Amino acid sequence: MPASYAYLGPEGTFTEVALRTLPEAATRELIPYVSVQSALDAVRAGEAEAAFVPIENSVEGGITTTLDELVAGEPLMIYREVLLSITFALLVRPGTKLADIKTVSAHPAAQPQVRNWLRAHLPDAVWESAASNADAARLVQEGRYDAAFAGEFAAARYGLEALETGIHDAENAQTRFVLVGRPARPAAPTGADKTSVVLWQRDDHPGALRDLLGEFASRGINLMLLQSRPTGAGIGNYCFCIDAEGHIADRRMAEALMGLRRICLQVRFLGSYPRADIAPGEARPMLPGTSDEEFMAAADWVARCQDGRF
Amino acid sequence: MPASYAYLGPEGTFTEVALRTLPEAATRELIPYVSVQSALDAVRAGEAEAAFVPIENSVEGGITTTLDELVAGEPLMIYREVLLSITFALLVRPGTKLADIKTVSAHPAAQPQVRNWLRAHLPDAVWESAASNADAARLVQEGRYDAAFAGEFAAARYGLEALETGIHDAENAQTRFVLVGRPARPAAPTGADKTSVVLWQRDDHPGALRDLLGEFASRGINLMLLQSRPTGAGIGNYCFCIDAEGHIADRRMAEALMGLRRICLQVRFLGSYPRADIAPGEARPMLPGTSDEEFMAAADWVARCQDGRF
């Protein structure tokens, strides 16, 4: 197994900064890839041990490129997640003033985050999409555009200066990243875990989705993300990417997944991994009747009834 | 009321082609706008009677720019929907051969639709995103890029020729467009209608979303779209854009919406309008016990019981 992590490059993006917060990243070679697809393909092909990619952000929701790659193709598994607060700096060539800026560039995902700021401060600037925020910074360095929205950390790398920092339209703007590898036994529960699955409905009838969600609800499992993604079979045909609180080693989660496996056309397990938003011990209390002990006691009681020993 | 429709421009895009399929478009002035936001703002400001914008496609799912505009701001209402099959042509300056193409351009939404074709036929071409497919065609006309993916109908307008037509990675690739105006009484039911709403949960607990969907399921109402959108309050905070089969004038839909109004933090009604995917008379049979007559008979029975007249 090569001791390297692929990540969505280029260098100097929020993805690299987020990846470097993982302790295990310090002992791996970190290799930038040009797209989420190519980073995940490197894992599937055995060229990298794992890939680190954005999967959700608080302004745009689920990152569909990443979700679609996890939904299709050879199965992969999520091992870790990282949350990073996102604020932008306006990077310019040294000496540029706000009044000089006619063109601004960034990755399209940055646009909704800086839209109001642009309207207020640079209403006439022309927006030019770039392949990444770091790429936008490079294009500013080369003189193609006047300013780039990127992380402040990108300024030094491209010989630019930050004319403004802390730019964000939404308070608490965060991006969630995941470390994705080939399937293996998930790490043991920490007490504050998350399980990701993809569900395909067997058929479409009133209550079909309600029934799927009931498999979680009836076992006291809270959902953290439900993102529909087209199956490609035409308008109205969706599968569902779901994040749920808990770990597949928990009895309640294992039973919910068994229920889904019975009633769904297909279920893809994407992993159980520690939550980045809370520490172990901070998880909300379980609903009464949904602990491992209660599941085991109930199974024991049914077995005794089946035996006539009640 | 000005007799004009705003639409997502420029001219020569799939949006304009879809809009022109509506009989009422023939009697209106059709005005292109540079963005979904500006087209909807024109309606909110009273400058246009309605706006015509894409809202969902079978490859990328819900179009988040449009959903987010309908979720926030002054309420608007959907009056009509149009489905259009999407296939691309590769447009070039006359005489250009496939081997000459070093750069290709289109709106980013086109990329997942032409990705496999590009990989097979132009693996080394550099992708350059444009503000729209028509804009990409214009940039090819001006010599900035070598080829554009756009509707074949755009070739004539920009003095280009179609080197290839019928390009689409997914079979049955369709985009759904909606005609949006200010709130008014919805048109009468046709027998094959759709109702769109946005739901905000009151709190987050196991089963919260299952309970919301139960309001539809328990009245035999099928869902056609469920798209989560971030509320802006941080990762994991979502509202839900839902399309359901039926019309707010149907008893079952009216009762479901009353139930949602009681249990949700907020419900935004986005309209009841004729379905574009099937004709009236082709709607699936209602579940037993969910017709207007049965709702009325049941209400009558409860009233009689309350009176002691059973």
**What is the domain extent for residue B266?**
185-310
pLDDT tens over chain B, length 310 residues: 558 999 998 888 899 999 999 999 999 999 999 889 999 999 999 999 999 999 998 888 889 989 999 999 999 999 999 999 989 999 999 999 999 999 999 988 788 889 899 999 999 999 988 888 899 999 999 999 999 999 999 999 999 999 999 998 877 789 999 999 999 999 999 999 999 999 999 988 899 999 999 999 999 999 999 999 999 888 889 999 999 999 999 999 999 999 999 999 999 999 999 999 999 888 888 888 999 999 999 989 888 888 878 7
Q: Do residues B273 and B217 share a domain?
A: yes
Task: Record the tokens describing residue B84, joined without a space.
Answer: 């259009």
- A184, A212, A229: which is the final residue of a domain? A184
Q: Across the interface, do B221 and A206 touch by the CB < 8 Å criterion?
A: yes
Distance CA B248, CA B115 (A): 41
- B88, B113 contact by CB (below 8 A): yes
Cis ω before A10 (30° cut-off from 0): yes
Contacts of A204 in chain B (CB under 8 A): 222
Smallest CA–CA distance, residue A225 to chain B, in Å, is 6
Distance CA A113, CA B230 (A): 13
Q: Do residues A131 and A52 share a domain?
A: no
Distance CA B245, CA B192 (A): 8
Task: Record the tokens describing residue B234, joined without a space.
Answer: 């941080």
- A149, A133 contact by CB (below 8 A): yes
Q: Which of B34, B60, B235 to mutate to test the interface with A (most CBs of A within 10 A)?
A: B235
Q: Across the interface, do A61 and B61 touch by the CB < 8 Å criterion?
A: no
- A126, A156, A184: which is the final residue of a domain? A184
Question: Which residue has 């429709």 as its token pair?
Answer: B5
Smallest CA–CA distance, residue A140 to chain B, in Å, is 17
Q: Across the interface, do B210 and A210 touch by the CB < 8 Å criterion?
A: yes
Burial class (CB in 10 A: 0-12, 13-18, 19+), B219: buried
Q: How many domains does chain A have?
A: 3
- B129, B105 contact by CB (below 8 A): yes
Distance CA B214, CA B94 (A): 58
Q: Do residues B195 and B109 share a domain?
A: no
Q: What is the mean pLDDT of chain A?
A: 92
Task: Record the tokens describing residue B21, joined without a space.
Answer: 């399929």
Q: Do residues B68 and B131 share a domain?
A: no
- B134, B167, B200: which is the final residue of a domain? B167
Task: List, in sequence order, every residue forming a beta bridge with B190; answer none if it has no partner.
Answer: none
Task: List, in sequence order, every residue forming a beta bridge with B7; answer none if it has no partner.
Answer: B32, B52
Q: Do residues B137 and B267 share a domain?
A: no
Q: Do residues A304 and A190 share a domain?
A: yes
Q: Do residues A132 and A180 share a domain?
A: no
- Complete DSSP assignment for B192-233: SEEEEEEEE-SS--TTHHHHHHHHHHTTTPPEEEEEEEE-SS
Q: Do residues A42 and A177 share a domain?
A: yes
Q: Do residues B180 and B50 share a domain?
A: yes
Q: Do residues A285 and A190 share a domain?
A: yes
Supply the CATH number for residue A102's domain.
3.40.190.10
- B21, B176 contact by CB (below 8 A): no
Minimal Cβ distance to A217: which of B210, B233, B238? B210
Distance CA B193, CA B177 (A): 15
Buried residues in B239-253 as b, exposed as e (16+ CB within 10 A): bbbbbbbbbbbbbbb
Distance CA B86, CA B176 (A): 10
ipTM for the complex shown: 0.79
Q: Do residues A280 and A203 share a domain?
A: yes
Q: Do residues A40 and A112 share a domain?
A: no
